[in-house]
Structure 1
Amino acid sequence: MNLSTKSLMACIAALCMESASAQTIAFAPQREAWLHKAAENMPRLIETEKRPCRVVVSRPDSLAFQGWTMDEAGDMASLYGESFKARREAIVDFGEHTTGYFSFSVDTDTDSDAPLRFRLTFAEVPSELNTPFDPYPGSLSRAWLQDEVVTVMRLPAEVTVPRRVAFRYVKIEMLAHSSFDFRITDMRCRAVTSASGEVPALAPGTDPRIRRIHDVGLATLRECMQTVYEDGPKRDQRLWIGDLYLESLANALTFRNHALTRRCLYLLAALADEEGWLHATVYEYPTPHPQQHQHTMDYSLLYGVTLCEYLQATGDRSTAEDLWPVVVRQIEFARTYLRDDVYDMDKKPGWWLVFDWKDDLDRHASVQGLMTFAIERSYELARMLGREAEVKHWPGLVKAMKTASRKTFFDKKTGLVHSGPDRQVSHLSQVWMILSGTLSAEEGARALKTVLADPTACYPGSPYAYHYLIEAMIRCGMAEEAREKLMAYWGGMIDRGADTFWEVYDPNDDFKSPYGFFPINSYCHAWSCTPVYFIHKYKDIFQR
């Protein structure tokens, strides 16, 4: 699918609306070409027909994740062969997480004298079928929840839900009927993904638990690889920079569908704001456009790191040269928030910092470390492109920021990084000072071992944050501890029934939600796929 010239020009015009002249728009001459390149790299979606494998019933279980489990209640042949009018409802299990378009047939042997009406509810985990959606208490749109009412006017009929859904379980309930009898048959899903290619096999002696984590991580990545790297196939269904970075790392070592990464990099660049600052998230439809005023400094800084990793993985110098000015713009914009080489948290902009789903996390030390890390990795990109002279001040800035970081955040007596006015000790503060090279490997190992053993330290609340924790542990030579942490954290989701990894997982709180209602959480989420990255990149640690 290619964007028409008309659509491209409409998108460019929208970006220019608030300015007197396109000359005031950063990257104005390049944007149309970038959108064309994004369109040229639109992947073909691969379609696979999937069918439910069994009928199940929900059962309360205090030991199960969120209090519910599924028990087998028959095979599909028995469901298809009996009266659904008598049955009234059923839950079917597809046996795996599935993203696509659901269909079913309704058959009768007599005249149908009135319409039928059904409610379909699609669930990634059992609790979604057993938690009332209304009155809805969540902070995100109620429409993200996957329940649909379908009216069937004439029989026999084949019904396809027009909305793409992400699920493992489907509950179908009869809401309205007449005197005639009927059957529900032929349930199926036209599953879609852009993931393709043969994934390198794991070493024969790889631990079975690592293998299972790898398989679930791979399924997570596959489901989120659509026409962009989606945040989650159930909810949001759009591109975010933070997810792009982690998904592209995982993809580069597994499916190696590099055109998808290239498409996402071009989309983000073409849809930057008027000053050239990247929006954290962009939409594809009806034409590509950004979510206006949705900026996150930590995400925009990761764009250059993503491009650097992309160039290293592909050797695609042309794309890196094209997008190099965008990287420079992110760094130079972030520099305006430095005061005495320390990130100024008092300069209140119209944006936010992600890092983790943790309201109690003080992010000052983390953003200081991430910015240092991003500048250093972006300078590595400059060297690869032979553009060091254009940013010759960056190495000195990195050195100055590390010195200022040690003075501002690091306590030599305790060996810990502290953040904020209350001198909070958190896992992520240590992590980002390690990844930035502000702490040595020895200092980092000491700091991590201390906070990991401290029950009062602010611990990570999402797989996104745990990714960086694992990376920091490996950087500090804590290979065995990293292996154990990956197996415990992502393995903990599997122990709770996960067949794809979740947006939010706190081993201490199965009902945690950033949105005030746990069924709105994404139970297949892009930033959770990175065990496959670690398992393939660090074979000596994980493939044994």
Structure 2
Amino acid sequence: MNSFACRKTYLPVRRIVWSSNCDGSRFLNKEQCQCSFHCDHDTLLPAGSALLLDFGTELAGGAAIVTRTGGRCRLRFGESASEAMGNPDQTHAIHDTELLLPAFGTFEYGTTGFRFLRIDAIEELKLQNILAISLEYSVDECGSFECSDPRLNQIWKTARRTVRLCMGNYLFDGAKRDRLVWMGDLYPELKSVIAAYGCHEILPRSLDFVRDDTPLPATMNNITSYSLWWIICQSEYFRASGNLEYLREQQSYLRGLAEQFTSYIDSTGAEQLPPRRFLDWPSNDDAVAMHAGLQGLMAFAFRRGAELAAALDDRQLLELCRSNVARLAGHRPACEENKTAAALQILGGIADRSETLLASPGKNISTFGGAFVLDAMAELGKIPEGLQLIRTYWGAMIDRGATTFWEDFNLDWLENSGRIDELTPPGMRDLHADYGNYCYKGLRHSLCHGWASAPCFWLSETLSGIRFTRPGRSELTASPRLAGLEWMRIGVPTPRGTILVEQEAGKAPEITVPEGVRLAPQEAGS
């Protein structure tokens, strides 16, 4: 049973984007969710009329229609204005449907991610209101981030909201599409949840769901490399929670997984993962980049496996993981220009690919691979470069109307394209419908994807300069990094409470720790 509660909120229309043969202005900022007997509350929608409504921000939930007279209508949900005006994809949730509305009632429909709603009156309707229904599970926002750069503050909050809307009964990949537990995608999502909400119970629940759904030798989500991410995510969760009892429950599966993946390393130390092979979508058709990235990913996973084995005092597993890291380090395939591959080789400790990683800032990355690029930048100490990447790449989505971050994005898409919160002007490209590839072509593209939330955890982790020296975040050192900022204030969750890191330029940092957390002496910030 799920033990955390879901909060249901009715939200009014904030803007009428477009209308045809009707006036929806009476719906604006109107919070009425119960039908009234008095006809002076009615808005007439003649048959054939239509409205495009904007609720102001991405939501997870559905719509409530308060009706005086019954009749048929068509509803279309959209994460962009153009999606609600088009033919939305129906995968994972229904986004385009015809409904029979009751007389004198409030009809509720939908469980998806959206910001816009188009309603078409198939028959004449007398409506009293149209509202969005926001469904969010109650969480404690124990993590925080604020600094002197308003753009970074907005990006952090947008990243937090992105992963927040993907927190359902499990940690989903997308609020609209990919309402599933994808193991590889969980890495940035899990880290963002920890940064914003601490060790929430949704994390072990999601990790256990994928484990239980994947008896060995099957691989998670039918993607071979995704089982490696389970090891890495287990290490991230153990670092944050210190829950050794939970980790012991994973020991048998972890050993079986390590033994299975040992067989995927050949005599030269090269990874030989069987199909289905996957790194990230931009690398999907590039066998060279995929091999380079998977080589780094395997080393990264076995490094983290060794960390878990040490905590479990499992010496046989520890030796196996360490031996595999050494074997994999003996084969260092070229990454060419692929930054995801370069980042994973850095994180795996098998090669210094900083030249590839830092070339052409903002280019050759994806919203998923960007998480590893940022992590690798932190490993190299390239903090100002990471901040600028966040401002440029994730900030560009906000500049075009995003209130959550997208399944994928390319800076090249910005040329002669419109905003997602407006109808695309003639002669310009539709930023949602005209772009995307693979599983995210056109309107199928998710504009609220948890794997895109990396700035949430990276800004908190990297600028706070906290290094936890014990699982469970009970002991730490801290060397805050302003990296050119004038000031910052960061809340970092632990199982014992929130650590507060504060610093102003030219002053020593102030670190406040909760009871039960030990702070070793720290260095002054930059």
TM range (shorter): 0.7 to 0.9
Q: CA 1:81–1:87 in 2, change beyond 3 Å: closer, same or farther?
A: farther
> Does the 8 A contact of 2:406 with 2:446 survive in 1?
yes
Distance 1:532 1:175 in 2: 44
Runs of 4+ in structure 1 displaced over 6 angstroms?
Answer: none
- Deviation, structure 1 residue 198: 2.4
- The structure 2 residue matched to 1:479, chosen from 365, 375, 383, is 383
- The structure 2 residue matched to 1:438, chosen from 340, 350, 353, is 350
Distance 2:325 2:6 in 1: 42
Matches within 5 A, 1:123-522: 123-132=78-87, 144=93, 146-152=95-101, 154-161=102-109, 163-177=110-124, 182-203=125-146, 205-273=147-215, 275-280=216-221, 295-345=222-272, 349-361=274-286, 362-405=289-332, 409=333, 417-418=334-335, 424-439=336-351, 443-449=352-358, 451-452=359-360, 459-460=364-365, 462-509=366-413, 510=431, 511-515=435-439, 517-522=441-446
TM-score (norm 1): 0.74
- Deviation, structure 1 residue 278: 4.0
SS, match of residue 458 in structure 2 = helix
- Deviation, structure 1 residue 54: 2.8
Deviation digits for residues 144-177 of structure 1 (CA, Å, limit 9, x no counterpart): 561110123x52232121x312211111111134
> Does the 8 A contact of 2:47 with 2:121 survive in 1?
no
- Deviation, structure 1 residue 358: 4.0
* Residue identity in the other structure for 1:435: L
* Residue identity in the other structure for 1:487: R
Q: CA 1:58–1:125 in 2, change beyond 3 Å: closer, same or farther?
A: farther
* Residue identity in the other structure for 2:65: F
Structure 1 unaligned blocks of 5 or more: 3-40, 60-71, 109-114, 134-139, 281-294, 410-416, 419-423
Distance 1:297 1:238 in 2: 17
> Does the 8 A contact of 2:85 with 2:118 survive in 1?
no
Q: CA 1:206–1:328 in 2, change beyond 3 Å: closer, same or farther?
A: farther
- The CA RMSD over aligned residues, in Å, is 2.7
> Does the 8 A contact of 1:357 with 1:514 survive in 2?
no
* Residue identity in the other structure for 1:535: L
Aligned residues between the structures: 434
Distance 2:120 2:278 in 1: 42
SS, match of residue 128 in structure 1 = helix
Structure-1 residue corresponding to 2:76: 121
Structure-2 residue corresponding to 1:97: 58
Q: CA 1:226–1:143 in 2, change beyond 3 Å: closer, same or farther?
A: closer
Structure-2 residue corresponding to 1:47: 8
SS, match of residue 237 in structure 1 = coil
Structure-1 residue corresponding to 2:469: none
Q: CA 1:454–1:217 in 2, change beyond 3 Å: closer, same or farther?
A: closer
Q: CA 1:303–1:226 in 2, change beyond 3 Å: closer, same or farther?
A: same
Structure-2 residue corresponding to 1:16: none
Distance 2:135 2:92 in 1: 21
Distance 2:28 2:231 in 1: 54
Q: CA 1:93–1:279 in 2, change beyond 3 Å: closer, same or farther?
A: same
Q: CA 1:232–1:132 in 2, change beyond 3 Å: closer, same or farther?
A: closer
Structure-2 residue corresponding to 1:527: 451
Structure 2 unaligned blocks of 5 or more: 31-40, 414-430, 464-480, 489-526
> Does the 8 A contact of 1:101 with 1:190 survive in 2?
yes
Identity of aligned residues (%): 22
TM-score (norm 2): 0.76
Q: CA 1:395–1:522 in 2, change beyond 3 Å: closer, same or farther?
A: same
Distance 1:454 1:150 in 2: 44
Distance 2:8 2:199 in 1: 16
SS, match of residue 502 in structure 1 = coil
Q: CA 1:249–1:142 in 2, change beyond 3 Å: closer, same or farther?
A: closer
Deviation digits for residues 209-255 of structure 1 (CA, Å, limit 9, x no counterpart): 00110111111111000110011121121111122222111111211
- Deviation, structure 1 residue 266: 1.7
